[in-house]
Structure 1
Amino acid sequence: MGRIRRALVAGAVVVAGVVGTTGWATADAQVAVTGPPPGTAAWRADSAGGRPLPDPVTSTPRQIADFFAELSSAERGALTHRHPQVVGNLDGAPVPLRYEANRLAVTATHDPRYARLAAPDRQILAFDPRGRGQVAEVYGELAHAAHVAVVVPGSDIDARTFDRANDPYGTPAGMAASLRGATHQRVAVIAWAGYTTPVGVGVDAASGRLAEAGAGRLERFTEGLDAVGAPDPALFCHSYGSVVCGLAAKHTDASDIVALGSPGMRADSVAGLGTHARVWAAKDPSDWIDDVPHIEFAGLGHGTDPTDPAFGARRVPAADAQGHTGYFAPGTESLAAFAAIATGDVR
């Protein structure tokens, strides 16, 4: 009886949070973008040197890497120009080809909202214009990096808000650039907005539906990094992005998983994540996420606060970070700690 009563109280707290939090009523339900990239049908109908092309769905990133390794430079270039949307999003394909393919794909949209992504100095590792748009960008030289970090953002991030100027350290691009700078350019950092994020603080943000779809995409993305010879990445997971990382944890080969400003990771403890990665957690005293009930009931809520000592994560100092998006601000102890984690300078 006591267990039932506690469950009912927990459910009431979640429902009260849903009803009483500004934005719940107006947040839009999102349709997760999943499945193969645009242009897959034409890709499947094509061939290279008389050989069928690897299926984007059934082929592993390692099989895709092996396929491209057998092609001549001319054959690779031809496929890139014939199928830029597929090659640009094909985990396991050579990184330079993906950069070139995504420049072509962005330009082909003729959408001024995305034009900045086609600039010659940008290294766009993934671009999908479906829905609100998804994008991943590399800061640094991925091919020769000794260390790799991946920033996984939370709500309200898409291809158009990926690098907004009015909140630089609340965007994946700003977080990635700041982290790379803090490591003195020793780490290749990837800003990965590769899943459909919630909009606003609504039921999408309180449920795991979009995170589950995002986790599958993050798992394959990290498999793709491994297939091209990149080091095991450190994942920096902000806000709802930490829900994605929590669900993906046991299927990635991440060296470290850092949850910051987290509503929970859909696990009761580090052991529940099923990962061999070191798990870290950061939350500053002024972060509004602390007002979110850290419980899970009837599919709503994301469970234990990762900064709770009972969760078992290593605590990242963040006392001087400001608000929900201040963790990567230059000069903060949280950013210094993140840089040490990314470079492997902490044990």
Structure 2
Amino acid sequence: MRRYKRTLVAVALTITVVAGTAGWASAGAQQAVTGGPVGVEAWRAAGLPDPEGMTAARAAAFFAGLSPARQRELAASHPSVVGNLDGAPLALRYEANARTAGPRYAGQQVLAYDPRGRGQVAVVRGDLRTAAHVAVVVPGSDVDAGNLAPLTDMAGALHRATGGDTAVIAWAGYTTPVGVGLDAATGDLAEAGAVRLTRLADGLDAVGAAEPAVFCHSYGSVVCGLAAPGLKAKDLVVLGSPGMRADNVSELRTDARVWAAKDPSDWIDKVPYVRFAGLGHGADPADPAFGARRVPAEDAHGHGGYFAPGTRSLRTFAAIAQGDVS
């Protein structure tokens, strides 16, 4: 019992130290956005099938049974539902979200947009319909519809590093923690995010997109770890990870290849890789004992430098996304 108490104290102290040294403030608890999208009541009232009761495959079948004119009519009259419905045709979702996302995203391919809470959004670089390879980038703390640049910078760097032949989704599709506090040390937000991430991948499969490589940064790797058993992905790549809520690769219960990167200057190494009384996220995925494949990251810098141009980590990410590395 004394050892467990010491572990709990270590977790709490480390959260405080990291929050202080990183210059971030621990904010109040965040409330995960769940349930159907904005406008779902009007959709149901129109006699349309309940989005919350449809799998992505069923959503794809529903739209396949509609004429193009009827599809566009639904996108115009129920844009928030159509734009966030995994399994709906990609072009139709872009069209619907162009109506709701506003001028900030003008001209972009917005795969999802939910204004509730701090806002969730997914933006696509490249052509998901024709790309031979697809990647999804899942962010950690502080990313939302109002602070998307850190995520789109990572996704853009990966897209360019692949020569543009990999479609990359910058997926801010869950409520992220704010700062480094209790939300970042627990799995509540990650559990809600894992459901959404799994459904995103189901939707890609339902519309015939290539099976993705999923890149999970920081707290995003907790989301990916919890999603892993049901996530349709060919690769799971974690970088700057505080843990995946698993002690080793086999506990993830995934057929995806699992990769891990951690550079020597990343402050995440100050976080103890433990899990006790709901705090912490378990073993270090970059530890050889975890069993993940290693991504070289010695020339990356800090917690956010893994996608920096010219780094070995970015070159390896691009090769993973393109299936060019075993």
Q: Normalised by the size of structure 2, how large is the TM-score?
A: 0.97
**Equivalents in 2 of 1:131, 1:319: separation in Å?**
37
**Equivalents in 2 of 1:186, 1:179: separation in Å?**
10
1:20: how far off?
Answer: 3.8
1:28: how far off?
Answer: 2.1
1:7: how far off?
Answer: 2.3
| Partner residue, 1:223 | 202
| Partner residue, 2:250 | 271
Aligned partner of 1:153 among 139, 153, 166: 139
**Equivalents in 1 of 2:16, 2:75: separation in Å?**
49
**Identity across the alignment (%):** 64
| Partner residue, 1:32 | 32
Aligned partner of 2:158 among 175, 179, 186: 179
Contact 2:18/2:267 (<8 A) preserved: no
Contact 2:18/2:270 (<8 A) preserved: no
2:95 maps to 1:100: yes
Distance 1:179 1:79, change over 3 A: same
SS of equivalent residue, structure 2 residue 98: helix
2:247 maps to 1:261: no
| Partner residue, 2:117 | 131
Contact 1:125/1:135 (<8 A) preserved: yes
SS of equivalent residue, structure 1 residue 148: strand
1:9: how far off?
Answer: 2.5
2:272 maps to 1:293: yes
**Equivalents in 2 of 1:226, 1:177: separation in Å?**
23
The superposition leaves residues 106-148 of structure 1 with CA deviations (integer Å, 9 ceiling, x where unpaired) of 23xxxxxxx321x12x100000000000000110010011110
Aligned partner of 2:80 among 61, 78, 85: 85
1:56-95 map, 5 Å:
56-95=51-90
Contact 1:28/1:200 (<8 A) preserved: no
1:19: how far off?
Answer: 4.0
* Letter of the 1:153 counterpart: P
Distance 1:19 1:285, change over 3 A: closer
Contact 2:261/2:313 (<8 A) preserved: yes
**Equivalents in 2 of 1:335, 1:19: separation in Å?**
31
Aligned residue pairs, count? 323
Considering only aligned residues, what root-mean-square deviation do their CA atoms show, in Å?
Answer: 1.2
1:231: how far off?
Answer: 1.3
The superposition leaves residues 264-298 of structure 1 with CA deviations (integer Å, 9 ceiling, x where unpaired) of 00000000101000000000111110111111111
1:27: how far off?
Answer: 1.9
**Equivalents in 1 of 2:160, 2:48: separation in Å?**
39
| Partner residue, 2:211 | 232
Contact 2:26/2:178 (<8 A) preserved: no
**Equivalents in 2 of 1:19, 1:322: separation in Å?**
22
**Equivalents in 2 of 1:59, 1:256: separation in Å?**
26
SS of equivalent residue, structure 1 residue 22: helix
**Equivalents in 2 of 1:57, 1:191: separation in Å?**
23
| Partner residue, 1:49 | none
**Equivalents in 2 of 1:41, 1:295: separation in Å?**
43
1:253: how far off?
Answer: 1.4
| Partner residue, 2:292 | 313
1:186: how far off?
Answer: 1.5
Runs (5+) with no aligned partner, structure 1: 47-51, 108-114, 164-170
| Partner residue, 2:193 | 214
The superposition leaves residues 239-271 of structure 1 with CA deviations (integer Å, 9 ceiling, x where unpaired) of 000000000000111100000000000000000
| Partner residue, 2:5 | 8
Aligned partner of 1:304 among 274, 283, 286: 283
| Partner residue, 1:112 | none
| Partner residue, 2:229 | 250
Aligned partner of 1:17 among 10, 14, 17: 14
Q: Normalised by the size of structure 1, how large is the TM-score?
A: 0.91
1:10: how far off?
Answer: 1.6
SS of equivalent residue, structure 1 residue 66: helix
Contact 1:267/1:304 (<8 A) preserved: yes
* Letter of the 1:150 counterpart: V
